[in-house]
């Protein structure tokens, strides 16, 4: 028996808003909604609010600052928001954005990231902050704003992240904005080892110190909607996925969505001066060492479009092609890349002959190219001592049967495929249930595993790995 209370989890990702309504005690999803976001790497944050309205099939009143209670949210006893990490929402004293929100995948601050990295040195960043600057981080975007729009930088009274902004809107913008450790740790100016903002960095990049969201504990309540529904602290999307899946040490989550992310959980802070591994915080009070790639599921979609097929046919082609793509190697840096740090890179298809240039082999090469970039990420985690025994494969790309089965061979370890679910939104819902019930740990919700794929030691995987590493070194020097 359950007490019947429901909680709502919101995932405001790069591409869409997903909402799940969940039984607080069991984690069973009883209702859900979804709405798309506009394309682009710089957007009006109001689009996220409009997508939330559509996702819960309700209108939230005429006041643009009003709280959202209609639709499924009105049935919840608590709400939590998880959203795309990093980004920059700079707002003025009246709460209005001074510039479109710059998203994590906006690469325009690459020069500022390089200067910050060089000015303090990667060892300092890794040991003091937990991360080494890349263009995704908020600190680099603030530096870009100050250098390119000093008038807008001067007007900036507060800086929020996407989940901070949506949580604040749910609270009718009542009181000061808040955040949590997981999202704050992706700004570039929150020290994970010291558990505090480094306002000296903020002043260095922006020219002054604006209001920064209060960092709440994982089970704290940020405030309430205007009808009294508690709004939990919220979290970044990767921390939300880890919470939704209940990941433990020894497991690594590999999420193949708009971006590719590879992350695990540890009890101790992580320091990687190479900058490959970000020493983020998680949503439970622990730590979340993570690597992210710009290119993931969109590589598959772009290749399918080039071949003139839908994703179902693309998957069939990729399963029909030679296991090693008959010598074709795709380096999938189609939109630049974050790991390795190559923001201006383009992709490459290497080893083309008349014999192997078939639709089947090109589809297979796209799948293998994505998996090899994720294999790079796993190797980087292992290099700093993170134990990895098995992978949990999630995200839109994980629906590909060709990708699932190739993953076990490329990763050389068992691949577990959880039942399809919106795990970021589910993690947010689990946090809302935690805030509702209290305690030192989140509620224990079971994760159903649909498939476990064991590696067979296929010889082609080593050949593909060697070709990929050689081509990457030759083309990009890494």
- With beta carbons less than 8 A apart as the criterion, state whether 238 and 94 touch: no
- With beta carbons less than 8 A apart as the criterion, state whether 405 and 393 touch: no
Residue position matching structure tokens 């080593």: 462
- With beta carbons less than 8 A apart as the criterion, state whether 222 and 169 touch: no
Q: What gap in Å lies between CA 311 and CA 289, rounded to an integer?
A: 31
Largest CA distance in the chain: 66
392 by Cβ neighbours in 10 Å (0-12 / 13-18 / 19+) ranks as buried
Q: What gap in Å lies between CA 247 and CA 308, rounded to an integer?
A: 38
Residues 6+ apart with CB under 8 A from 282: 181, 182, 239, 242, 243, 265, 288
Q: Write down how long the chain is.
A: 478
DSSP letter assigned to residue 103: P
Q: At what angle do helices 401-411 and 459-476 cross, to 10 degrees?
A: 90
Of the candidates 7, 71, 67, the one whose C-alpha atom is nearest the C-alpha of residue 35 is 71
Strands of the sheet containing 278-281, edge to edge, are 278-281, 287-293, 260-263, 250-256, 388-394, 415-418, 449-453
The helix or strand, by DSSP H or E, that contains position 414, with its residue range, turns out to be: none
Q: What gap in Å lies between CA 392 and CA 416, rounded to an integer?
A: 5
Catalytic, out of 164, 180, 237, 376: 237
Known active-site residue 237: yes
**Helix %, strand %, coil % of the chain (to 5):** 35, 25, 40
Residues with a known catalytic role: 237
């Amino acid at each position: 028996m359950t007490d019947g209370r429901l909680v709502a989890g919101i995932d405001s990702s790069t591409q869409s808003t997903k909402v799940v309504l969940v039984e607080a005690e069991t984690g069973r999803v009883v209702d859900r909604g979804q709405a798309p976001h506009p394309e682009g790497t710089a957007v009006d944050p109001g689009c996220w609010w409009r997508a939330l309205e559509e996702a819960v099939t309700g209108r939230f009143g005429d006041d643009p600052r009003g709280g959202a209670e209609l639709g499924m949210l009105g049935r919840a006893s608590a709400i939590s928001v998880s959203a795309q990490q990093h980004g920059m929402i700079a707002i003025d004293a009246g709460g209005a954005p001074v510039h479109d929100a710059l998203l994590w995948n906006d690469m325009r601050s690459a020069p500022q990231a390089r200067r910050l990295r060089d000015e303090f040195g990667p060892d300092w960043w890794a040991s003091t902050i937990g991360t080494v600057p890349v263009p995704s981080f908020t600190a680099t975007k603030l530096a870009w704003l100050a250098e390119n729009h000093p008038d807008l930088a001067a007007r900036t009274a507060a800086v929020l992240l996407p989940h901070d902004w949506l949580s604040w809107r749910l609270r009718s913008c009542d009181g000061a904005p808040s955040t949590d450790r997981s999202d704050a740790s992706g700004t570039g100016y929150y020290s994970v080892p010291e558990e505090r903002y480094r306002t000296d960095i903020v002043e260095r990049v922006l020219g002054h110190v604006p209001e920064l969201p209060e960092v709440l504990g994982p089970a704290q309540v940020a405030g309430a909607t205007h009808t009294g529904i508690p709004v939990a602290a919220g979290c970044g999307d990767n921390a939300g996925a880890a919470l939704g899946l209940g990941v433990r040490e020894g497991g690594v989550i590999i999420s193949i969505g708009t971006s590719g992310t590879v992350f695990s959980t540890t009890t101790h802070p992580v320091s990687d001066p190479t900058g490959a591994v970000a020493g983020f915080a998680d949503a439970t009070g622990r730590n979340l060492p993570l690597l992210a790639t710009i290119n993931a599921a969109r590589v598959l979609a772009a290749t399918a479009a080039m071949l003139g097929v839908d994703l179902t046919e693309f998957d069939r082609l990729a399963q029909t092609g030679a296991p090693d793509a008959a010598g074709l190697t795709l380096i999938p840096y189609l939109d630049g890349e974050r790991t390795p740090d190559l923001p201006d890179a383009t992709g490459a298809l290497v080893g083309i002959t008349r014999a192997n240039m078939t639709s089947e082999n090109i589809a297979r090469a796209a799948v293998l190219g994505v998996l090899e970039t994720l294999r790079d990420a796993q190797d980087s985690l292992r290099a700093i001592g993170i134990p990895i025994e098995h992978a949990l494969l999630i995200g839109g790309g994980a629906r590909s049967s060709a990708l699932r089965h190739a993953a076990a061979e490329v990763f050389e370890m068992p691949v577990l495929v959880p039942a399809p679910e919106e795990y970021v939104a589910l993690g947010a819902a689990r946090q809302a249930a935690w805030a509702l019930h209290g305690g030192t740990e989140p509620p224990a919700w079971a994760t159903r595993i649909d498939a476990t794929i064991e590696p067979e030691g296929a010889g082609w995987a080593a050949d593909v790995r060697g070709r990929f590493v050689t081509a990457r070194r030759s083309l990009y020097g890494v």
